[in-house]
Structure 1
Amino acid sequence: MKGKKTSLFFGVLISFMLVFVGNSEAQKKRKVPGVEKDKVYVGTSQPFSGPAAAWGIVAKAMETYFQYVNEKKGGVHGRKIVLLARDDGYQPARMRANIEELHSKVLLFAAPLGTANVSANKDLIAEKKVPTIAPLGNVRMWVGYPWEKLKYFFVAYTDYLLEAKEITNFAIEKLGSEKIAIFYQNDDYGEAGLKGVEEVAKDKLVAKVSHELTEVDFSVHAQKIKDAGADTVIIYSNPRQSAAFVKKLSELGIKPKILASFPLADPVMVNLAGEAWDGAYVGGVIKLPQLYPESKQLFDEIVKLNPELAKTPFLTLYGIFVGALVEETLRRAGPEPTREKIIEVLENMENWESPVSFPITFGKKRRHGINVIGLWRVSKDGKYELVMEPKFLDPLF
């Protein structure tokens, strides 16, 4: 009888332990932030309002790409990808609030946008240990960043400083520029462009004209360019203020050669600036549909789902690119993704190329996946001409 009671006791104990272990394992699975049985959540913070609102198209394109993946492919490993996107108005404090809200709701962040914003909030993201794919901003913020923090960031973005040097070299050697001016916004993005131009232009740099993000009238700025007699203006600014500035140049009756950083490569600039943007040279860091058939095929598929995106192909492509990189990362992470797996698969990504982007490579000690720059010439009807083949520069970190 005693033996039966003992057996019964141990049987109950073992059953209890099995249930406890099973519940513990289930709890562990449920504790992965942003992962549900049929959904996986991705977060971002971008400007949908304010002076840089045009750049918020990147998030809308990402969201549409995820819709494409969900509808055409059934998601990834049976889970639909859901983007939680928040507006920060291009203000660091608002991005911080968005990160505080989202970090426990998402598996990863993708394409938080803005040099000042990302720079001000990268420590917070690292503190929350959220893998972050393709943060968009001046890559110099990551140079020398402590590895224990940098390890959470996978950057696929061209260096503004090196781009500025390439653009300035092109202006001098190919366009014969003798008097160069730079118009730039007063932040890390603009300062990086300024430094690159200064290093190459030297005594050919005749005017350095900065502006604040709050400014709306650029009459004085344009007059400084005219007074300096600049035959070339290099621009490191945002779409709305750049457009307003070049319009003022036209009003003053001057038509210097315009060269601009790649964030201004979208044809939306033609809509904003009109004929004042005709003939501008812009940085090319992605496969524009007009120039790459494989890019056009995917671009057309995405635009079918959201026709508005056709108006902003460059920004849309960036969203597609980041979306495709997220999709590939989730696919490689397998049916039970965790933040640790996300980091692991990205560290093993080598020469991955999407239809809209050039090859990307990360590594266990490499977080700068691509550093590429080409140049396109834009006409007033939105046509693009390749004038400098893409150059693949060394990663910075």
Structure 2
Amino acid sequence: MANYSGNDVAYLDFAATTPVDERVAELVLRLMRDDFANAGSRTHEMGVHAAREVSKARELVARALAASPEEVVFTSGATEASNLAILGLARANKGAARHIVTTAIEHSAVEGPIAALERDGYEVTRVAPDRRGHVSADDVLAAVREDTLLVSVMHANNETGAVQPIVAIADGLRAEPAFHVDAAQTFGRLNEDLRYPRIDLISVSGHKIYAPKGVGALVARRGDGRPPIAPIMFGGGQERGLRPGTVPVPLVAGLGLASALAEAEGAARGERCAVIRSDALDALGSLGGVFHGEGGRTLPHILSVAFPGIDSEALMVALRGVAAVSNGSACTSASYKPSHVLEAMGVDDEVLRGTIRISWSHDVADPPWHDIAGVVRMLS
């Protein structure tokens, strides 16, 4: 067990990023330092060996999602994967389908490219969540029209941990439109949902599952009658022409190994995270905290909570010597804008401004819940 900080401050921001698993780091370092050849260099044995490492990683990611290796496209992360899925689908769209269904709680990696298409004339329907942060499968399916090109729904929200009903949505869709799922927070944790064959496009992130930053994947299933995707960048033709550029062999191999480890250890990891969550609710619940996402299916390692009368910025400053937490998505935290997720949930302004996100790992030492509670009491 560890706190990952190198000092007395407990790192509790795992939804933003995870450390690299030591077993993964060992493989990555070896491929960086010793077996460093370009996987595209097929004229010598070192290049062939590098290509084998990429193929192995592709097989491991595919196996985790019951996909075929040919359906895995390596990217720089889930953001690029989502852009490729959404913009690539639009680029390949030759018909009159110019309507998109998504939710009001999507990560900026999805909302950004969809908003870009909206500016180009696409019509977008954004389904609102309930007050717990969950969208209704019926509401999503009711928004689908004859001219709908894409349905894009995140698997679990990065701020609240609320898990969305992607299987029910997939089960209710016709052969078209295409269905994209942002699985940045759930790949390696809820893979069983993601194996549903009607989910056409899945965005995967490495640095959420103890792989290095800078690597991810798009899984693009090739079912009959489903719209293809076209490249949005052009170059050397790597990754089946969908993602050009030299393949980062060490990072890709790290993602493959991290995928396999998550698959093998997922149940135990989830159980440990659930125990930590229970302890957190016990320690913080008596302080009058408002917990977002509770009462529905929620990831066991993310807790979104606000304490009445306490501003999140003030609380995070007071916690600097105790725990590293956040007040929303790390990808947009520099903008200091109110959480669009909490706004869509109808959270009032005081609670919204006071919300922090606490997230942990299966292998952390017991978090200092009582110390955190003490800081909250001091600010109350």
TM-score of the superposed pair, with normalisation by structure 2: 0.34
Flag the structure with larger Rg: 1
TM-score of the superposed pair, with normalisation by structure 1: 0.32
